[in-house]
A and B are shown apart, each in its own frame.
Chain A
Amino acid sequence: MDYVNEFPILKTGLIYFDNGATTLKPKRVLDKMNDYYLNYPSNAHRGDYTLSLKASKELEDSRTCVKDFINAKSNKEIVFTSGSTESMNMAIYGYFYHNLNKYDEVLITKAEHASNIVPWFDLENKLGIKVKYIPLNDDYTFSIDNLKESITNNTKVVSIAEITNVIGDTRDIKEITRLCHEKGIKVLVDAAQSAGHIKIDVQDTDVDFLAISAHKMLGPTGVGVLYGKEELLNEIDYKKGGGTTISFDSPKEIEYKELPYKLEAGTQNIAGIIGFREAINYVNEIGLDYIEKYTHDLKKYLVEKLSKLDNIILYNENVSGSTVAFNVKDVFAQDTAIYLDKFNICVRSGDHCDKKLGDELKIKNTVRVSLYFYNTKEECDKLVVALNNDKILEESLGV
């Protein structure tokens, strides 16, 4: 399929392989946001005039759209945030901070994003909880057996990404949640890399909290979602004092609004939230089953080509997913990325906000290609041609 009408930047010959950081934005999402700014640029939930009612309706329709997208029970369970980092922080500081005690254990892995590590470390410092790692398999993927062995009587939370941002394996959230709930353990899922890539069904998997970023699935930056079961969200103490209240006569007489509004103080990113709905519509039209299969097949294709090059070290070649982590022998990852930029190929180099994975890979930094449905075999071929060169380091220097 040809996507250049929705992504005009592709006409320039740009090869965009950094979708794990953020995806391209389709024109229809931007048109939808412009439509708000140009034609009904009023605040939501504030006015009694037609324009404001329209803004409120569009915003609430977006909430319904997100609810349906992840199959939540009700709109009350959908809280808009600035992104998955804020969503993770809201769940961790708003709920778990108040519900964990000294010696309670949180299980994560070394393949998590920083936003699923740093807040937990902070809670370890503040509350005396213990952050423990579920060991990864030899290929750095997640294992249910290792989870079973890691759970102790003190385990209270399992907090993991559904798809990790470097290795890219998909974790079986339904099975993880089933195991955890048998033992009264709560499950927080970072879905930043999985939303828009695979189907999410929070009722089927029964997760307790789930975090999403719009911009990693065709939406604008600055918009995210925290899903939580209603009874858990109701317990969250992460209020930003402001227009979330019904009345506030005195410090003892503050009455907060109902969910989800009590967690959404201040004017929301209305245009962004409306744009996110259009992104979800687009993803749904293309189809999540198609996206998953297409990107996984494309990864296989790229891995097969790259494995034929003598100068490439692959780190996750056998993992089914849409990311390829690699290095060029004797070349620092950033030098490879700068070299590829000369060919108009965008890749990410570094630790990818996953500073603990380096312990496992025995190397801190990698080059990452993260694919989405608009990437093609032809683009992969161009990458392989560029990498089939024993002078990459020299040619990266710019002198």
Chain B
Amino acid sequence: MDNEIKRELILEHFNNPVNKGLVDDPSYIKESKSNASCIDHFTIELKLEDDIVKDIRFDGEACAIATSSLSIAISKLIGKTKEEAINIIDNYNKMIAHEEYDKDLLEELNIYEDISKQPARVNCALLGINGIKDILKK
């Protein structure tokens, strides 16, 4: 994917993120995540039924990388089983850490593969998606 398309995808998900806004429904599990070193802050809600991720919602204020990566992750993880979702998130973490990972599995999330060139962005790229993992591991 060329950089122009990557940037467009990031900005599209930053400006119009999927599932923004909380439902405050007791069938969802809720989790708040903040980066200690910066100002990104998300509240994430996730609905799990029979081990399938039925829905994920979020709210909060965060930078373009944090918001877009969470938005793309949400659109990718809904409909997956709990195990599949955790596997995707684990591979995403490996990609960010420059470890071996399953590239095909991550699809659009591959656009963040070089994010560690900007060290300030690494935590942004992990905040939301690892928030989802925290809920799945509960």
A contacts, CB < 8 Å to B: 332-335, 338, 341, 349-351, 364-365, 393-394, 396-399
Contacts and interface: CB of A to CB of B under 8 A. Distances in A.
17 contacts: A332-B62, A334-B38, A334-B39, A334-B63, A334-B124, A335-B64, A338-B121, A341-B120, A350-B38, A365-B61, A393-B11, A393-B14, A393-B64, A394-B11, A396-B64, A397-B65, A398-B115
Contact of B39 (A349, A393, A394): A349
Interface of B: 3, 6-7, 10-11, 14, 38-40, 61-65, 111-112, 114-115, 117-118, 120-121, 124
Question: Chain B interface secondary structure, helix, strand, loop or mixed?
Answer: helix
Contacts of A397: 6-7, 10-11, 64-65
A341 B14 CA distance: 21
| Highest count of chain A CB atoms <10 Å: which of B63, B64, B115 | B63
A393 B64 CA distance: 8
A294 to B, nearest CB: 30
Of all A-B residue pairs in the complex, the 4 with the closest CB atoms, nearest first, are A398-B118, A350-B39, A334-B63, A399-B6
A399 B10 contact: yes
A398 B3 CA distance: 10
A257 B115 CA distance: 56
A338 B62 CA distance: 13
A349 B62 CA distance: 11
A290 to B, nearest CB: 34
B11 A398 contact: no
A333 B64 CA distance: 10
Contacts of B118: 338, 398
Contacts of A333: 39
B114 A399 contact: yes
Contacts of B115: 398-399
Given A338-B63, A393-B11, A393-B64, A398 B114 contact: yes
Nearest to A334: B63
Contacts of B117: 398
B113 to A, nearest CB: 9
A282 B67 CA distance: 45
A365 B11 contact: no
B38 A399 contact: no
Contacts of A349: 38-39
B2 to A, nearest CB: 10
Given A338-B120, A341-B120, A399 B3 contact: yes
